[in-house]
Amino acid sequence: MASLTLRSWPFRENEEVELLWFGSPYMDYKGNWRIKAAFRSASMVIKLVSYAWGTVPYMRIGQVYANGKFDPIKPLSGSSYRLTIDDMSSGTITNGFKLPRRLIDFGKNPELGLQKVIQFKVNNLTYCIPVIEFVRALFINSKTLATQLLQPHGLEMLIDKSDVSQGTLHFDMSLRVPANLATESNAQHLSWIYMDADIHSMWDSVYQNMFSQAIQDSPLNPNVPFKKGIPLNVNLSPIGPIEMYIRGEKFIDYILVKEIIGFSGFKHPHERILFWHPSKKMHEINFGEKKVRLTPRANANYILNEDSDNAKEDRNQDVLEAPPTFMRFSNSPIIKTRRKHVKRSNKGKDIIVKLGRGGKNIGAAKEVSTQDSIVGGDTPPIDFQTLETIPITEAIGLEAFFKMIQLLKETYSLKISMSILRIPSGKKFSVCPNGTRRTCAVVQIVNAKSITYLVEIARPDEWSISTLILRPTPQSSLKSIETNIKLLLDGLVQKGGHWDQTILSRFSDMSIRKVKHYNNDSIREWAIRLHNSTY
């Protein structure tokens, strides 16, 4: 497995520190989710260091680090235990300050002590599991799943289709799932989270609890608590019996769980799974010469550096492999891969070709990021100069629209960019009934003949408003298009949530068309209708 070096790193050279605990997930000024990790030195000094939330799958409490790198030789603190939980919902939620100080001492730091802990009482012992560790082990085995967990309806964004036919679950992953995560084991794991109602409910509860707390703390602007940080919480479903294999530390009759090594006893709701991913293609063998590219990077080393200009979030892959959490189901679904399209490969004499990168890169550690992709996930933003864009995490009520845009990209030969904007403030329509600020998506679609723009208003309340299709003249500048979009949104708010017909008819440098929403439209029908309307 490739090694990962953490940056930033505020400790002395070669100083060994232990990963003690985690703080609250919080949103930075760019709208990206981050997490504070608490490291403790030999002198018992605790320092909090901020990393992208997507780093959590690669970290375990009790790991020893030096120079930002985990030492796999050093034994992890704690002993191995196995416990059986008859009913997961029997667990009680408390916080770290309720644990004995001899078991763990936070140094009176409220950021650490207020983190949620699940307690299970089994055979006169109280097992204390940090909620972050429980969620990591159960749900987030990769940066991709970690990112989607803290987005509204994030799970649905990873799945294109799931239906049952003749006793087989047909499960299609979306393009948002990196190709190297499109494996049979991940298909089993992801389909289990999605199809099991109790597990799906626990997944949804993580973001819902954070959002509910944010609304409670700041009804008019929930982003304020998000930026401050909210302890992670989860609603436990009535599932059992479940066995857990853990590494923990004991004090009297308390055991602090530092790592969940594995689960057993869960039941997958389907016996047969046929899964698909856009990367799955049938192979056709040719007997021509096979080009072989030699690479010095069999086991690459990576430097996690979110602030570097060279650090990249690979949009096609989760480049880092997370340490596995064992999960055994009481039933073993038969999983097969459905393939379409053809990938041709040669199987003949090997021809060595030169490396594509310069020699100065050989053996060098690659800088990577565990941050989420740019706003819109794998869809690049529009290069607006005057309109302020916001992160996709604030786009509540646009989830189905995002799925439709993703389908447009996959189905048609189009270049698509998208940005999320806030609706102007000042009127009741500017705020959704649930207290969140209403947003809109502006999508730029480029085909061989023209450039068009879609303006879609967030409708978590099923508000009746059409999608606008803007077709500017070839002479129109991006600045003038921005100005027109701003005028349209201002008029929308002043009209109480309806497009202002006077403004719609005043633009001489672009034509505007309205396309209605239909409740009986499928995502595919919606995509086809909008695609046909852009011509």
Mean pLDDT to the nearest integer, 106-115? 91
* Helix pair 184-195, 197-217: axis angle to 10 deg: 70
pLDDT-wise least confident of 71-85, 308-322, 349-363, 397-411: 349-363
Residue 377 — very low, low, confident or very high, per pLDDT cuts 50/70/90?
very low
CB atoms < 10 A from the CB of 511, how many?
Answer: 12
Contact by Cβ (8 Å): 266, 329:
yes
pLDDT of residue 447: 77
Highest mean pLDDT among 296-310, 350-364, 517-531 belongs to 517-531
Judge whether residue 240 has pLDDT over 50: yes
Burial class of residue 330 (count of CB atoms within 10 Å of its CB; 0-12, 13-18, 19+): exposed
Sign of CA dihedral 384, 387, 392, 396: negative
Q: What is the Cα–Cα distance from 519 to 526, expressed in whole angstroms? A: 10
- 63: CB partners within 8 A, 6+ apart: 18, 19, 70, 76
Which residue is listed with tokens 């049979």? 184
Judge whether residue 349 has pLDDT over 80: no
Judge whether residue 288 has pLDDT over 50: yes
Contact by Cβ (8 Å): 232, 222:
no
Mean pLDDT to the nearest integer, 314-333? 71
Q: What is the DSSP letter of 13?
A: T
Contact by Cβ (8 Å): 424, 490:
yes
Q: Max CA-CA distance within the chain? A: 78
Phi, psi torsion values for 296, nearest 5 degrees: -80, 0
Contact by Cβ (8 Å): 475, 504:
no
pLDDT-wise least confident of 23-32, 240-249, 264-273, 346-355: 346-355
Instruction: Summarize pLDDT for 172-213 with one digit per residue, the tens.
Output: 988 788 888 888 999 999 999 999 999 999 999 999 999 999
pLDDT of residue 366: 58
DSSP 388-427: PEE-GGG-TT-HHHHHHHHHHHHHS--EEEEEEEEPPSSS
pLDDT of residue 48: 94
